[in-house]
Chain A
Amino acid sequence: MVEPDRLIRLAHTRPTLTQHPPVRIADLYLQRGGQYILRDITANLGLSDVTAIMGPNGAGKTQLLRLIAGLGQPDSGTIKFAWPDAPEKHRIALVFQRPVLLRRSALANLTHALAQYGVTRTRRTARAMELLDFGGLTDRANIPARALSGGEQQRLTLVRALGAAPDLLLLDEPTSNLDPRSTAAIEALIQRATAQGVRVILVTHDIGQARRLAKDILFLQDGQVAEHSPAPQFFDTPTSAQAAAYLRGELYL
């Protein structure tokens, strides 16, 4: 679907980051329904180009991602952003675990998003067609977005997020519905985006995918950070019993 070299036009070109963590989370607590579903989360994210957040169902991955995206406030603790070139300026795009699409065609969903991102009217359609092409959806342009297959919908929401030209891209299980070919294409897309300096935080249950893409892994269980390690170390010699059990396919209680 995607020709890799075309992705270059998707993202901003900006200096690569090394020392400054772009996302700093400190002492984060979040309560829902009388229970803490996130507890004492402290982590520096975005130091590498792709950070994977892993953990069993209900661990709190989606909730953490939402807080980073600014959807809702934590009960306590802070999330701070800093980009070296423009510390307070950052653009975050979030791709939801469950696609949210307008009741319009695939193309109209993209032109609508581009309008919100300030793309001028004359350039919107051409830009949207490019994005559709990146997502392998060119022949789906005029089909109602909500009639697309689950995988097509996921691809559409991903290219819509890329349309924002984000500094930080938050992906909540972006390939959970995709066939192997599309998964490979999405991964290529992510890698091309990171090559242009986009930082990606990726929630995934796909261990292979995390191995292929992520440089560091944040492992959550029961709303707490059980482990935050560089990827090779995490997969080969996990330090936490929870991560070890998860990787063996067992449930750690």
Chain B
Amino acid sequence: MQDFTAAFRAALDLVFRMDADLMEIVGLSLLVSGAAVTLACVIGFPLGAALGAGRFAGRMPLLVLVNAAMGLPPVVVGLTLYLLLSRAGPLGPLDLLYTPTAMILAQTVLVTPIVAAITAQIVADLSEEYRDLFATMGMRRTAQAATLMWDGRFALTTAVLAGAGRALAEVGAVVIVGGNIDHVTRVMTTAIALETSRGALELALGLGLILLTLSLGINAALMGVRAAARRLSDG
């Protein structure tokens, strides 16, 4: 109990001091995860729509693959990306290892299957309901997909939130490709891991509380926007 009180105090202390290092770390966390989720949506929405409503050879195996990829261990993703981005690896000349860009790539790989799989499920359910209507209207596949995505837009925020949750919480991938370099690639989760290894458990837990609060804030904000938009729009 004492530990939690101390952790809480450590968190409050950091926040109220507007600790510059903390702000930098929080900022980078949001930047990296935000960019990764954005990229994951750019890839995952069309992929999910194709998997959910498309009719093409290999759709089922691909769907199974994407669903399985939701459980990709971050460490494995980090390691694979490390081997690719390492100077000795095929993408070494890009010089991306130990940069935020590498962290964004790693989290994009982790988040894309989540966005795609949830999108596929939402689109498949809607498509089932709309199929006959679309057929009588003689709609092309792309027009169908656009209609399904638009009508599923409120449900799709769930995909975004699930992806953001995964990105903000994972440490295994970013610590390998980012290296947890102070002022360059240190984010919330790698900072927590570092403080834990220093035995500074209260500080680590305090950072964890801040991360949790951040995550809650993002969820609440998105759900609020969703509710407001639903009320203002056509349902």
Listed in ascending order, the chain A residues whose CB lies under 8 Å from chain B are 66, 69-71, 92-94, 96, 100, 102-105, 108, 112-113, 116-117, 142, 144-147, 164
Contacts and interface: CB of A to CB of B under 8 A. Distances in A.
Nearest to A104: B234
A102 B132 contact: no
List 6 tightest A-B contacts by C-beta distance, closest first: A144-B235, A105-B234, A103-B151, A104-B234, A116-B137, A100-B133
B227 to A, nearest CB: 14
Classify the interface of chain A: helix, strand, loop or mixed: mixed
B20 interface: no
Contacts of A94: 136
Nearest to B235: A144
Contacts of B71: none
Interface size bucket, B side?
Answer: 10 to 19
Contacts of B135: 70-71
A100 B132 contact: yes
B130 interface: yes
B129 interface: yes
Contact of B130 (A69, A102, A105): A102
A142 B234 contact: yes
Interface string B122-148: 000000011011011111000100010
26 contacts: A66-B132, A69-B136, A71-B132, A71-B136, A92-B136, A93-B136, A100-B129, A100-B130, A100-B133, A102-B147, A102-B151, A103-B151, A103-B234, A103-B235, A104-B151, A104-B234, A104-B235, A105-B234, A105-B235, A116-B138, A116-B139, A117-B137, A144-B234, A144-B235, A145-B234, A146-B235
